[in-house]
Structure 1
Amino acid sequence: MSSHSKHLPAEERRAATVEAVVELAAEQNPSDITTTAIAQRMGLTQGALFRHFPTKDAILESVMDWVAERLLARVDKAAASATSPMAALEAVFMAHIDFVAEHPGVPRMLFGELQRPGDTLPKKMVQALIRRYGERLQHLLEAGKTQGELHAQLDIEAASVSFIGSIQGLVMQSLLAGDVTRMRRDAVGVFAIYRRGIGHVGSAS
């Protein structure tokens, strides 16, 4: 990527910068990533980097925008291909796990931004992503209740929080173990437990 980055058009240069940051976040503490390290990864000078991004926060904003766009598009596509709300929930769960396994630097950056003090724009973007993601889950859960797949008295908000928490738990354990493939191995069993918890008692699921 480094030699090619020197000759990229502006839009592709910005995209390559995002890619470099996500790669670096998989290798080190995201808060320790410097513009010098980003430029070195891309084979550029800091001056060349700052021609496209005036500040480090501007780079982080582009990264968060990239994450939100890619992740939501991935889960939307997964949900659209499913034949029922429960199947859509499972497809979304697995698509999210696959996304993180492919980009292990992403959760480290999201967790890092949420821990930053103050209301920075990157932090607000992470919070907006979580909100938009939760809205999608709640829509699927409501549909599941309407169609009789899920418990009639299911607490939609709690079920949404539990869904996200299950993914976060898988991610955290895989990061602690230093093995991102662990997420994929454990995801099927974890979702099966979740499905039994929210499914209608008379349902085959």
Structure 2
Amino acid sequence: MPGVKRLPTSERRKQIVNAGLELCRKEGIASLRTEKIARRIGVTPGALFRHFPSKSAILQAMAESLLERLEATVPDPVVSGWDWIEQHVKERVRLLNEDPDVRMLFSEGFIFALPPEAREKVHLAFARSWEMLAENIQVAQKEGRARGDLEAHELGAAIVGLVQAVLHPPLGDLTDWSNPESVWRTAADLIGSKASRGAGG
């Protein structure tokens, strides 16, 4: 297209990925077409393929971008146990509130549309997150801060459910519920030991 500004490859790739994410978020995954992405950023469809060999490659890059944002919320390894769980809950809720694109990682339609390699990366990322959560719940149980009458994976399921509830109405539409502090207070009440609940979580 005449007058199109030439961007460095890394910037153009990022622009293409962000345009694809915006298109999916606003119109649904079924609307993702290379010509629509090209039109959105003002280039020819052929220009897209100088940066990505196929639509599948664009989807792969889109998934990787979302995973980077999600994994950036993982608490620092020096934090563990109860404090790790608190940071995990608050950061995930904050991200889901502030970055609507990341919500697509929790959409079956989006995940199903990904190429197999990207789908596997998403599943592995969620599995790692689940393992870290369970490990830190076990630490919190040994600390006496998390209740010991349930297994770590059962408490983990409660936490994951609370965090993901912000994605769905009617809870997701409640301002107080979408607040990271509010979600954490509820999570702490559910998984905390009697001693920790008595001490205010």
Match of 1:54 in 2: 53
Q: Does 1:24 align with 2:23?
A: yes
Equivalent pairs: percent with the same residue? 27
Q: Check whether the contact 2:146–2:192 (CA below 8 A) recurs between aligned residues.
A: yes
Partner Cα distance (2:13, 2:24) in 1: 17
The answer for the alignment partner of 1:38 in structure 2 is 37
Provide structure 1 residue ranges, at least 5 long, that are not aligned to the other structure: none
Larger Rg: 2
Aligned CA distance change for structure 1 residues 144 and 131 (closer, same or farther; 3 Å): same
What are the Cα deviations for residues 111-166 of structure 1, in whole angstroms up to 9, with x where unaligned? 1233459x722222221121121122122212211211111233111222222222
Residue 188 (structure 1) aligned with residue 187 (structure 2): no
Alignment of 1:7-22 (within 5 A): 7-22=6-21
Distance across 1 between alignment mates of 2:14 and 2:177: 27
- Distance in 2, matches of 1:94 and 1:5, equals 42
Residue 60 of structure 2 aligns to which amino acid in structure 1? E
Residue identity matched to 2:96: V
Alpha-carbon distance in structure 2 between the residues aligned to 1:6 and 1:102: 30
Instruction: Report the TM-score when normalising by structure 1.
Output: 0.80
In structure 2, runs of 5+ residues without a counterpart are none
- Deviation (angstroms), 1:85: 2.6
Superposition deviation, residue 176 in structure 1: 7.7
Q: 1:137 aligned to 93, 115, 133, which one?
A: 133
Q: How does 1:7-156 map to 2 (within 5 A)?
A: 7-77=6-76, 85-111=81-107, 112-116=109-113, 120-156=116-152
Moved more, 48-57 or 97-106: 97-106
Q: CA deviation at 1:24?
A: 2.3
Q: State the SS of the aligned residue for 1:76.
A: coil
TM-score scaled by structure 2?
0.82
Taking the aligned partners of 1:198 and 1:103, their CA distance within structure 2 comes to: 27
CA RMSD of aligned residues (A): 2.9
Residues 53-94 of structure 1: CA distance to partner in whole angstroms, max 9, x if unpaired? 1111111111111122221122234x75x6x63232222112
Q: For this pair of structures, how many residues does the alignment match? A: 195
